[in-house]
């Protein structure tokens, strides 16, 4: 069905730079100016969130760009309150563009008497009036089933594949993709297929959350340029330890490609002092100055793929087509 309304973008405070970049990319694709809807998202003195939309949005196709990253609760509430403001202003459809979906790690009951917070967050979003979700690299793919509305889950691996082919084009024959744990094998295999590389696994055992007791490498990494791939990096303890273990097993270089750079606590210092040659993350979470200034951290843009996905949703065309190199390569031409 052809689009009869214009796509309109509105952003909270979580990642305003990404929202502006998406608007710029959409302007390029459409050949016309695409700006963020004029609004204010502020806090009262007691930290209550207040939203006011200055433009008419009646009957419009609205896209709220708001990752629920740190501070997760504040950014989640901003998303819900913006949704309520748009719904009460008679927007035709509200799509939440959530580059990083917070609470995704709480996707099951790992112990007795624990919550499934990801399901609770999904219920809150639907109840607030969100009619569609666009996100990237959910921690667990089954979270899509927590929603009773359409969820489009984009993948960073096609972007990573393009970057690896560009950065390591002279040594692709020596590249080996490594999963930092058994649970991430499917994600690592997907990237390995895209660059036609073999796969290894680092098996880790935890004594308690945040601490890794033992690591074993499954596969021969000697003489290989190892690419660790994962969906998120928090304190970077596991990532740095995995890089050390790979180097001890004969790897010539270790690079890491992580979809979401949470990078809390001592993460940046650990990465700067680690044996990793580079850590590559996306801009799904707005990077603070220490991350941007770190010598061995690079940030890949997600605005091109999100802009095209938003346009495809607005036009009613395929979002999964963006997973193919033939479709994605022109979007990222001249960027990577």
pLDDT digits (tens, 9 = 90+) for 239-250: 999 999 999 999
Catalytic site residue from 8, 35, 119, 204: 204
Q: How far is CA 263 from CA 50, 70, 239, 258, 292, in A?
A: 29, 10, 11, 11, 12
Cβ contact 233:262 at 8 Å? yes
Structure token digits, residue 7: 């796509």
Residues of the chain falling short of pLDDT 50: 1-2
Would you state the pLDDT for residue 206?
63
Q: Which of 227, 231, 232 is nearest to 242 (CA)?
A: 227
Full-prediction pTM beyond 0.85? yes
The predicted pLDDT at position 211 comes to 59
What's the confidence (pLDDT) of residue 2?
Answer: 47
For 78-114, give the DSSP string.
HHHHHHHHHHHTT-SEEEEEESS-TTTT--S--STT-
pLDDT at 336: 78
* pLDDT on residue 1: 44
- 132 among annotated binding-site residues: no
144 is in an annotated binding site: no
Structural domains in the chain, CATH included, are 7-155+303-331 (3.40.50.2020), 157-300 (3.40.50.2020)
Q: What is the pLDDT of residue 325?
A: 83
Binding site annotation covers 210? no
**Is 238 annotated among the ligand-binding residues?**
yes
Residue 46 known to bind ligand: yes
The answer to the question of whether 235 is labelled as a binding residue is: yes
pLDDT for res 115: 96
pLDDT reported for residue 215: 87
- For 142-171, the pLDDT digits (tens) are 999 999 999 999 999 999 999 999 999 999
Burial of 336 (0-12, 13-18, 19+ CB in 10 A): middle
**According to the annotation, is 327 in a ligand binding site?**
no
Query: Known catalytic residue: 204?
Result: yes
């Amino acid at each position: 069905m052809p689009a009869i309304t214009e796509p309109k973008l509105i952003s909270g405070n979580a990642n305003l730079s990404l929202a502006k970049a998406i608007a710029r990319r959409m302007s390029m694709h459409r050949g016309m100016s695409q700006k963020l809807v004029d609004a204010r998202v502020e806090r009262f003195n007691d930290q209550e969130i207040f939203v006011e939309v200055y433009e008419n949005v009646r009957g419009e196709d609205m896209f709220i760009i708001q990752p629920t990253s740190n501070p997760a609760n504040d950014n989640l509430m901003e998303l819900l309150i913006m949704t309520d403001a748009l719904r009460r202003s008679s927007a035709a459809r509200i799509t939440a563009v959530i580059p990083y979906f917070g609470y995704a790690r709480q996707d099951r009951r790992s112990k007795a008497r624990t919550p499934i917070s990801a399901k609770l967050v999904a219920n809150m979003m639907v109840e607030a009036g969100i009619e569609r979700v666009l996100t990237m690299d959910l921690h667990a793919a089954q979270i899509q089933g927590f929603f009773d509305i359409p969820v489009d889950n984009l993948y960073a691996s096609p972007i990573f594949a393009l970057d690896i082919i560009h950065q390591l084009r002279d040594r692709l024959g020596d590249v080996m993709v490594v999963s930092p744990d058994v649970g991430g094998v499917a994600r690592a295999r997907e990237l390995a297929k895209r660059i036609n590389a073999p796969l290894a696994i680092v098996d880790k055992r935890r004594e308690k959350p945040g601490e890794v007791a033992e690591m074993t490498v499954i596969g021969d990494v000697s003489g290989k340029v190892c690419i660790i791939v994962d969906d998120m990096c928090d304190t970077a303890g596991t990532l740095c330890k995995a890089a050390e273990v790979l180097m001890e097993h004969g790897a010539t270089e270790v690079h890491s490609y992580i979809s979401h750079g949470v990078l809390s606590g001592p993460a940046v210092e650990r990465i700067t002092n680690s044996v990793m040659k580079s850590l590559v993350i996306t801009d799904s979470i707005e990077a603070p100055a220490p991350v941007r200034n770190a010598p061995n951290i690079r940030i890949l843009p997600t605005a091109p793929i999100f802009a095209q996905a938003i346009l495809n949703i607005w036009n009613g065309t395929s979002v999964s087509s963006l997973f193919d190199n033939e479709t994605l390569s022109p979007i990222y031409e001249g960027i990577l």
